[in-house]
Amino acid sequence: MSNLSKDLTPRLTGVRNGSKHAGLNPHVCVCERWFFDFARHSQSWYNGTMLKIIIALILIFVALGAMYRYIGVPKIYSEEYAELPTAHSYGDPTRAISEISINAFYFVPQNRAENIVPNWREILENNLQKLQEFHSVQFLGRSRVTYRIYPQPIIGFRDGILYDTEDTGGGNPQALRRVSEEIEKRVFDPKGDLYMTDFDVVQSGTYPVLAIMYEGVGSIGGVIYESKFELAGDIAKALGLPDGSIFIVNVESADGFFLVNKLCLEEQERCEMGGPALFAHEFYHTIGISDEYDGELQTSSDIMGSGRFKRLEETYLNKKTVRKLGL
Ligand SMILES: [Zn+2]
């Protein structure tokens, strides 16, 4: 196009600069010839290209027709998903655990108040957070743990021996029973000296759990059942559990509770087993999961068996257990 312009420009200039008609016609004839030549060429190019496009479109439609005839077209079906069953406590579909709310405390017997460390809240929260993450993964998001931490350490009314007794074997169940009853009276009863309205509210539809970081020995957890029986032996028989595993407690604010020695939560190395894996192991007793070991015999490699000695990130809940939890 630029070559044509160069050729045409002097001729057209000549027309403008000459007299009105002088030399006009011959120049116009040259231009017209060029124009008609160009138009003729353009027309044949246009016709050729259009023909190719039309042939290409015909081939495409023939190909689509063949595909429709011999292959068919995808059909989309919509189908209702079967509703997933609700996660529940171990072997008990009547106790939903889709939402678990933990009320967490740092409890210190009166004669051990000097052992309180300034970062106690950080230690407790670190264990709660790791439990929350682990639980979410193990339950595929079908059960959620939330927590709140009572804002100050609770200094007990009594000295350590009166919570622990002489026998702290079996994880120190007496401390769990006595400490949780004291927390119940002081924090959850409106007449209690540490009563707080925030901690009074148990949201409906949640499974409430009491978590105790204890300034003393112990690591134990369990479910709290309502029972029409008064004697531990009768309750054990009704629940199909061994006699020694039943303790009668007066705790209304929780359906499950657990207690762990603070030293074991500070650093894993401080105890034979410890840290967030121990915290989570005891927590899982609060929804009814039993130990997977008997003395030295480990019956599972998961967190309820030998996995409790590992870091929490390296362990899991086994398939047999999660099936009993509605997963
Ligand atoms: Zn255990």
Ligand 1 center–CA 136 separation, angstroms: 20
> Would 82 be classed as within a structural domain?
no
Looking at the fold, whether 93 and 59 belong to one and the same domain comes out as no
Looking at the fold, whether 191 and 165 belong to one and the same domain comes out as yes
Specify the pairing of strand 99-108 against strand 207-214: parallel
Looking at the fold, whether 44 and 115 belong to one and the same domain comes out as no
Q: What is the pLDDT of residues 221-239, one digit of tens each?
A: 999 988 888 888 888 888 8
The whole-number pLDDT of residue 9 equals: 39
d(CA 130, CA 126): 6
> Would 180 be classed as within a structural domain?
yes
Question: For position 218, which CATH number holds?
Answer: 3.40.390
Looking at the fold, whether 45 and 153 belong to one and the same domain comes out as no
Looking at the fold, whether 147 and 207 belong to one and the same domain comes out as yes
Structure tokens at 318: 């086994």
> Would 83 be classed as within a structural domain?
no
> Would 75 be classed as within a structural domain?
no
Residues counted in the chain: 327
Total domain count, the chain:
2
Looking at the fold, whether 101 and 146 belong to one and the same domain comes out as yes
d(CA 94, CA 225): 12
d(CA 180, CA 286): 13
The whole-number pLDDT of residue 33 equals: 57
Domain boundary among 70, 100, 117: 70
Looking at the fold, whether 109 and 53 belong to one and the same domain comes out as no
The whole-number pLDDT of residue 85 equals: 81
> Would 230 be classed as within a structural domain?
yes
**Is this model's pTM higher than 0.85 or not?**
no
Ligand 1 center–CA 321 separation, angstroms: 14
Q: What is the pLDDT of residues 20-42, one digit of tens each?
A: 444 444 444 455 555 556 566 66
Ligand 1 center–CA 4 separation, angstroms: 95
Helix spans in 71-195 (H): 120-138, 160-164, 173-183
Domain boundary among 70, 102, 125: 70
The whole-number pLDDT of residue 298 equals: 93
Ligand 1 center–CA 68 separation, angstroms: 64
**What proportion of the chain, given as a percentage, has pLDDT over 70?**
86
> Would 143 be classed as within a structural domain?
yes
The whole-number pLDDT of residue 268 equals: 64
Query: pLDDT-based confidence at 203, cuts 50/70/90?
Result: confident
Residues of the domain holding 28: 2-70
Looking at the fold, whether 61 and 124 belong to one and the same domain comes out as no
Q: Which helix (H) or strand (E) holds 103?
A: strand 99-108
Range with the lowest mean pLDDT among 31-35, 117-121, 183-187, 292-296?
Answer: 31-35
Looking at the fold, whether 293 and 144 belong to one and the same domain comes out as yes
Ligand 1 center–CA 49 separation, angstroms: 82
Looking at the fold, whether 159 and 63 belong to one and the same domain comes out as no
> Would 246 be classed as within a structural domain?
yes
The whole-number pLDDT of residue 53 equals: 85
Ligand 1 center–CA 108 separation, angstroms: 23
Ligand 1 center–CA 221 separation, angstroms: 7
Domain boundary among 20, 44, 70: 70
Looking at the fold, whether 231 and 298 belong to one and the same domain comes out as yes
> Would 200 be classed as within a structural domain?
yes
The whole-number pLDDT of residue 55 equals: 86
Ligand 1 center–CA 294 separation, angstroms: 10
Q: Average the pLDDT over 291-312 and give the result.
A: 93
Q: What is the pLDDT of residues 132-180, one digit of tens each?
A: 999 999 999 999 999 999 999 999 999 999 999 999 999 999 999 999 9
Looking at the fold, whether 126 and 231 belong to one and the same domain comes out as yes
